[in-house]
Amino acid sequence: MEKISGFKTPLVSHIYTADPSAHVFEGKLYIYPSHDLENEGLDDGKGDHFKMQDYHVLSMDDIGAPCVDHGEALHIKDVPWASEQMWAPDAAYKDGTYFFYFPAKDKDGIFRVGVATSKIPAGPFKAEPNYIPGSYSIDPAVFVDDDGRAYMYNGGLWGGQLERWKTGSYNPNEPHSEAPFTDEDALGPWVAEMSDDMLTFKTEPEEFKILDENGAPLKASDEERRFFEAPWLHKFNGKYYLSYSTGNTHFICYAESETPLGPFTYKGRVLEPVLGWTNHHSIVEFKGKWYLFYHDSSLSGGKTHLRNAMYTELEIAPDGTITTIKPYGD
């Protein structure tokens, strides 16, 4: 089944926001996006034209209510280990503290994941002096399960450098590639259980696979289903659902597992392609309904590096099946 998106208005229009991670904190919606800045950089295939230096936190008291920009929550100048590219973030809450997770390149140009903390969901956040040991690549998403255990999902191909970690250590000579590796299993994201203090990993990051309907890992050539970037996890009726972007084919897809550690079996599409090259999303339940937060480039007239976050209601059947959303109704 397909559904036409019901909300097409950017959350805010005074700044460009992308990669919205939505959570319900203190009874209302908080959205943690990245912040796109105007620049003249050329798209070199590695994402260097995305010049992001800080983060803002947005909130809404209810669906349809005005979206409030709480201002700058964290800037790269206040992150001792980071050099550039503050890309898609996420947030979590535990034991009276709000945790803000973000990727950035370290002084050697390697993507790592940092963490910052605050006592209020809107921030500002204070960064830890070092990135999380053992972290690499981009797009952290942290899921806190019903038992209190928390997990980070992470990874992005091409500019996200995931291919450069195939051997277990960083290989700067491993180029990102637009050519599918037809005989190889697709690279999956990695997952690590968070420590009790949410500042480090309890377990080493470990890749997990997305399987096809026959239980075989998706191949790298399966560009309409394989993982590219933007992992997100939600739980529904006791099962775990990983959603993610396919990158160059521009779908948001989802897969199902009995455990938060996978493997996950491919189930279908959440969202059809949007205007702009990237898509990055989150899925959240609020007041008994489910919502998809995502972005496109409509506010900038199609400039791929200047995006705007938005949202729409998501239909999830009792068996977990998600109705595919067509963002423009065509």
Residue 326, both tokens: 């067509």
Q: How many structural domains comprise the chain?
A: 1
Residue 192's domain spans which residues? 2-166+181-326
Structural domain includes residue 197: yes
C-alpha span between 141 and 245 (Å, rounded): 13
Which one of the listed residues 36, 90, 222, 229 is annotated catalytic?
229
Which one of the listed residues 19, 139, 163, 296 is annotated catalytic?
19
Residue 282, both tokens: 């989150």
Structural domain includes residue 300: yes
Q: What integer is the mean pLDDT of 133-139? A: 98
Confidence (pLDDT) at 255: 98
Answer left, alpha or beta for residue 232, where phi above 0 means left and psi between -120 and 50 means alpha.
beta
Of the listed ranges 87-91, 168-172, 270-274, 318-322, the one predicted with least confidence: 168-172
C-alpha span between 152 and 135 (Å, rounded): 10
250 DSSP 8-state letter: -
Whether the per-residue pLDDT at 87 is higher than 80: the answer is yes
Structural domain includes residue 172: no
Structural domain includes residue 78: yes
Examine the residue annotation and report whether 19 is marked as an active-site residue of this protein. Answer: yes
Structural domain includes residue 171: no
Whether the per-residue pLDDT at 242 is higher than 90: the answer is yes
C-alpha span between 182 and 307 (Å, rounded): 32
Cβ neighbours for 72, distance < 8 A, ≥ 6 positions apart: 54, 55, 56, 124
Structural domain includes residue 174: no
Task: Sort strands 54-60 and 28-36 into parallel, antiparallel or unpaired.
Answer: antiparallel
Confidence (pLDDT) at 188: 96
C-alpha span between 114 and 136 (Å, rounded): 10
Whether the per-residue pLDDT at 47 is higher than 60: the answer is no
Examine the residue annotation and report whether 229 is marked as an active-site residue of this protein. Answer: yes
Distances (CA, A) of 252 to 123, 134, 228, 231, 326: 29, 27, 10, 10, 11
Whether the per-residue pLDDT at 48 is higher than 80: the answer is no
Chain-centroid distance, C-alpha 138: 8
Whether the per-residue pLDDT at 49 is higher than 70: the answer is no
Give the largest CA-CA distance in the chain.
50
CATH number, domain at 65?
A: 2.115.10.20
Structural domain includes residue 173: no
Confidence (pLDDT) at 281: 98
Q: By percentage, how much of the chain surpasses pLDDT 90? A: 85
* Neighbour tally for 96: CB within 10 Å: 6
Specify the residue for token string 């637009």: 178
Give the chain's end-to-end CA distance (angstroms, integer).
14
pTM of the entire predicted model: 0.95
pLDDT band with cut points at 50, 70 and 90 for residue 43? low
